[in-house]
Each structure stands twice: as C-alpha cells, then as structure tokens.
C-alpha cells in the first residue's frame, strides 16, 4: 500500500481555469500579467499487486497492476499582476476517484528505480481536459 501525490503543472502562457459549472479548461492568463504556474494536484491511495522476482540476493525485479483511489484533488494558479502575486485555488475538480495502472521496478541493494503508468484520465471526461499520468522515479528500501 502506498500514497501518491502528483502535480500536473503548466508553466507556459496557458492556465487551468474552472468555471461556475465546475468544468476545467485551458485558458490564456489575463492580459498584462506574468505567468508563474498553474497546476492540478492529486492525492491517491495506491494498492499494488506486483509479482516480485529475485535475480539474486541483491537484485529484484517487480511488475504488476496497481489500484488507485483518489479522494482529493485541487487546482492552483499563480501569476503576477502589477507586481503583486495573485493566487486562484479550487477544490472539487472532478477527478476520477478509481483507476487502474501498471507499475514496474528494479531494485539493487536498497536503491531502485520505478515506473508507473495509468492510462485512465486524471479528470472525469465531462469536466476537463483529457490527460493521463506516467511517473518515473528513484526509490530507497529498508
């Protein structure tokens, strides 16, 4: 079991924006502003079902599906307007609460790398742009 928190960040001249109906779109920053960032943040509980294969006492390879439950997600946009920092935040971004992905990892002596791919859209299809997640990272085991 594990926890995953991810930031889907935009740093160009487009930002995430949520309207009164809760629909998220990509829009230009307001005229005359300097963009900082815009992001959607998700927090998930992950339950991996991996097959572990030990090549020897120090090297291990694992692969398998992972179930995700995502109870929380938020949107935050920051930019500068007339030299002052502006911030817009919003919760309830209509994230997909349940999804299934695949994970793989290789560990050598307590240090490893991992790969996670989730083909499901991060947001519910009617409420925002369609995008999925892929993660690569380092891992330390005890």
Per-residue pLDDT tens listing for the chain (142 residues): 889 899 999 988 999 999 989 999 999 999 989 999 999 999 999 999 999 999 998 999 999 999 999 999 999 999 999 989 999 999 989 999 999 999 999 999 999 999 999 999 999 988 989 999 999 999 998 8
The per-residue pLDDT for 89 is 94
User: How many residues are present in the chain?
Assistant: 142
Q: Calculate the alpha carbon distances from 94 to 1, 18, 70, 79, 122 in Å.
A: 24, 11, 10, 24, 9
* Ramachandran area for residue 92 (φ above 0: left; ψ -120 to 50: alpha; else beta): left
Rounded Cα distance, 139 and 136, in Å: 10
Strand 24-28 with 14-18, pairing: antiparallel
Task: Return the SS3 of 114.
Answer: strand
Q: Phi and psi dihedrals of 71, rounded to 5?
A: -80, -15
The answer for residues whose C-beta is within 8 angstroms of residue 83's C-beta and 6 or more apart is: none
Question: Is the CB of residue 116 less than 8 Å from the CB of residue 66?
Answer: yes
Show me where the domains of the chain are located.
2-140
């Amino acid at each position: 079991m594990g926890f995953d928190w991810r930031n889907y960040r935009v740093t160009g001249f487009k930002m995430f924006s949520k309207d009164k109906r809760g629909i998220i779109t990509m829009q230009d920053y307001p005229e005359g502003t300097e963009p900082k960032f815009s992001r959607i943040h998700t927090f998930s509980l992950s339950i991996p079902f991996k097959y572990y294969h030990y090549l020897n006492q120090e090297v291990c390879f694992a692969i398998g599906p992972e179930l995700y439950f995502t109870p929380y997600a938020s949107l935050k946009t920051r930019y500068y307007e007339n030299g002052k920092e502006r911030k817009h935040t919003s919760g309830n971004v209509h994230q997909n609460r349940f999804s299934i992905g695949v994970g793989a990892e290789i560990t050598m002596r307590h240090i490893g790398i991992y790969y996670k791919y989730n083909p499901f859209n991060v947001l519910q299809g009617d409420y925002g742009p369609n995008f999925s997640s892929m993660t690569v990272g380092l891992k330390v085991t005890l």
